[in-house]
């Protein structure tokens, strides 16, 4: 029998990753295509949906560039993922009404605070999550208040991965995990909540039908098939939110499993059989029915590193002519002792999510002396993200875990993985593949019958390629530094608020 293929298409915060999996369970091809975010005002983060489509098309073309026409005909299904919370607003003709508000946008702080004060108990009772500037409910309330004319033109609301899939298949729908990321969805009844929609005057009919991640959702449209060089009628699989896909793809499919993610955001995730009751964390259904994943996250993880690289290593980037310079930075960091000689970094470059849920926090370096140079700042930055993730992990009973999977772009660098092992005092296990696009492949492959169930799919294809153990001497240093980090937050929180308000009052 000819070898067959499935595609996983994941749209992240900075670009699209396409993975091609063959019917032997091996990754046959991969490709990445970047696209920009826009920051028109302080605390705003927006993207242009049409750029997602262009990136998906180009990503698939690149991934399949070495395939023969016969091999392309063996692509059986495509699955999709993208971040939670990102609403795409469509008019009656299915045109996009405006750039989307991204999950890390913090403009809706006042609306989130009002919803918390007015309806907080009811919202948590229905969704098991609290209103913060991350959620679609708060974004929509901001739009209703500040862009009422546009708000009145909305005919349908879909979400980031669902809009991309709509453009591939023509089907408007979502999955239940994606729906849980809106604060419009009843997590226990598994249906859109009339009560939540009514809080902002939203018609429930504006929201899409809800399915399982493994459900088929139309077939590839002829015009899109021509653009990407695949057969019309190729199966389109629902897919799910990116975090759900990658938590699944790295092999955490049992209660008690834990994951650290170093990507645009930094996550600490624990799998459970029971729906947790904690207003400081986010909780969703797992793609494996009967499980939940609990998530506590920092807004700027790898994005902090990227910000630092672009600002402090610009001359190296210019000399590198497009080649990666992170290995050079890592060498500088290795020369600096754990704790960066008393230099601390708070990674609140765009406010902060759990456990603080505070859009008005600001980043800082603290403890600077004449001894500190660029390498110290680089190490302090990676450590500061680590402290923030440890801060997030404190919301879970019995953590840090003795062994954790570590995923995301930051897991590709030995230096940062060792820092995370030391700060969390936990063994870091690096999976062979851990991208959300790989998770999409496994979901799509299960949907078309390659595997009997989702657990078997990931167990048949996933491996641990490396394990990193904590250094006891570094653990001691980081325990002391972490105590100071938490106290620094308590002492400077109100000053951050004052600075933010002062800046915004002068814009």
Distance between CA 311 and CA 306 in Å, rounded? 9
Residue 7, both tokens:
């595609």
pLDDT of res. 173 = 98
Rg (CA), the chain: 22
| Cβ atoms of 286 and 494 closer than 8 Å | no
pLDDT of res. 1 = 53
Q: How far is CA 309 from CA 5, 352, 381, 413, 417, in A?
A: 37, 21, 11, 14, 18
Distance between CA 452 and CA 446 in Å, rounded? 7
CATH of domain 302-427+471-505: 3.30.420.40
pTM of the model: 0.91
Distance between CA 304 and CA 308 in Å, rounded? 6
Residue (of 348, 229, 224) closest to 298 by Cα position: 348
Q: 435-455 pLDDT, tens per residue?
A: 999 999 999 999 999 999 999
| Cβ atoms of 284 and 181 closer than 8 Å | yes
Q: 383-411 pLDDT, tens per residue?
A: 999 999 999 999 887 766 779 999 998 99
5-11 and 75-82 beta bridge pairing: parallel
Residue (of 40, 74, 33) closest to 54 by Cα position: 33
User: Domain coordinates of the chain in residue numbers?
Assistant: 5-244, 302-427+471-505
| Cβ atoms of 400 and 424 closer than 8 Å | yes
pLDDT of res. 2 = 81
**Architecture label for domain 5-244:** 2-Layer Sandwich (3.30)
Establish whether domains 5-244 and 302-427+471-505 are of one fold: yes
CA 458 from chain center: how many Å?
Answer: 20
pLDDT of res. 168 = 98
List, in order, residues 6 or more apart from 119 with CB less than 8 Å away.
Answer: 131, 199
Q: What angle do CA 271, 436, 221 make, to 5 degrees?
A: 130
Going 100 to 281 to 488 to 482, the CA torsion angle's sign is negative
Q: Which residue(s) pair with 30 in the sheet?
A: 19
Distance between CA 107 and CA 37 in Å, rounded? 15
- In this structure, what are the phi and psi dihedrals at residue 292, rounded to the nearest 5 degrees? -125, 155
pLDDT of res. 350 = 87
Question: Which positions of the chain have pLDDT values less than 70?
Answer: 1, 399-400, 507
| Cβ atoms of 162 and 208 closer than 8 Å | yes
């Amino acid at each position: 029998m000819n070898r067959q293929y499935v595609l996983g298409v994941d749209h992240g915060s900075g670009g699209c990753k396409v993975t091609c999996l063959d019917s032997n369970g091996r990754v046959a091809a991969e490709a990445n295509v970047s696209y920009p975010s826009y920051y028109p005002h302080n605390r705003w983060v927006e993207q242009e949906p049409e750029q997602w489509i262009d990136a998906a098309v180009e990503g698939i073309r690149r991934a399949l560039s070495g395939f023969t026409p016969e091999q392309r005909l063996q692509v059986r299904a495509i699955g999709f993922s993208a971040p939670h919370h990102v609403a795409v607003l469509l008019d009656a003709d299915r045109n996009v009404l405006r750039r989307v508000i991204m999950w890390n946008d913090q403009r809706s702080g006042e609306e989130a605070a009002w919803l918390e004060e007015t309806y907080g108990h009811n919202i948590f009772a229905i969704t098991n999550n609290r209103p913060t500037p991350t959620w679609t409910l708060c974004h929509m309330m901001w739009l209703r208040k500040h862009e009422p004319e546009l708000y009145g033109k909305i005919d349908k609301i879909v979400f980031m991965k669902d809009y991309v899939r709509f453009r591939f298949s023509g089907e408007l729908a979502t999955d239940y995990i994606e729906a849980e990321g809106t604060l419009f969805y009843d997590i226990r009844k598994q249906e859109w909540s009339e009560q939540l929609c009514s809080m902002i005057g939203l018609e429930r009919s504006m929201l899409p039908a809800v399915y399982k991640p493994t459900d088929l959702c139309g077939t590839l449209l002829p015009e899109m098939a021509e653009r990407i060089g695949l057969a019309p009628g190729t199966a389109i699989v629902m897919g799910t939110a990116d975090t759900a896909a990658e938590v699944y793809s790295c092999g955490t499919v049992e209660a008690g499993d834990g994951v650290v993610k170093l990507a645009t955001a930094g996550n600490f995730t624990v799998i459970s059989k029971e729906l947790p009751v904690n207003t400081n964390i986010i909780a969703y259904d797992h793609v494996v029915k009967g499980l939940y994943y609990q998530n506590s996250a920092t807004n700027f993880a790898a994005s902090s590193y990227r910000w630092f690289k672009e600002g402090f290593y610009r001359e190296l980037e210019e000399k590198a002519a497009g080649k990666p310079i992170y290995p050079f930075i890592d060498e500088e960091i290795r020369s600096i002792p754990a704790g960066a000689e008393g230099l601390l970094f708070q990674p609140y470059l765009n406010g902060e999510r759990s456990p603080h849920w505070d859009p008005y926090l600001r980043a800082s370096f603290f403890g600077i002396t004449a001894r500190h140079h660029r390498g110290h700042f680089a190490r302090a930055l990676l450590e500061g993200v680590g402290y923030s993730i440890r801060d997030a992990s404190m919301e879970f009973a019995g953590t840090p875990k003795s062994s954790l999977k570590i995923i995301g772009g930051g897991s590709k660098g030995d230096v940062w993985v060792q820092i995370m092992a030391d700060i969390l005092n936990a063994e870091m296990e690096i999976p062979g593949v851990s991208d959300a696009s790989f998770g999409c492949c496994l979901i799509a492959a299960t949907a078309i019958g390659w595997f009997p169930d989702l657990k078997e799919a990931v167990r048949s294809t996933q491996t641990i390629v490396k394990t990193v153990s904590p250094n006891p001497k570094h653990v001691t240093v980081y325990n002391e530094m972490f105590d100071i980090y938490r106290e620094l937050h308590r002492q400077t929180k109100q000053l951050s608020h004052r600075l933010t308000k002062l800046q915004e009052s002068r814009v």
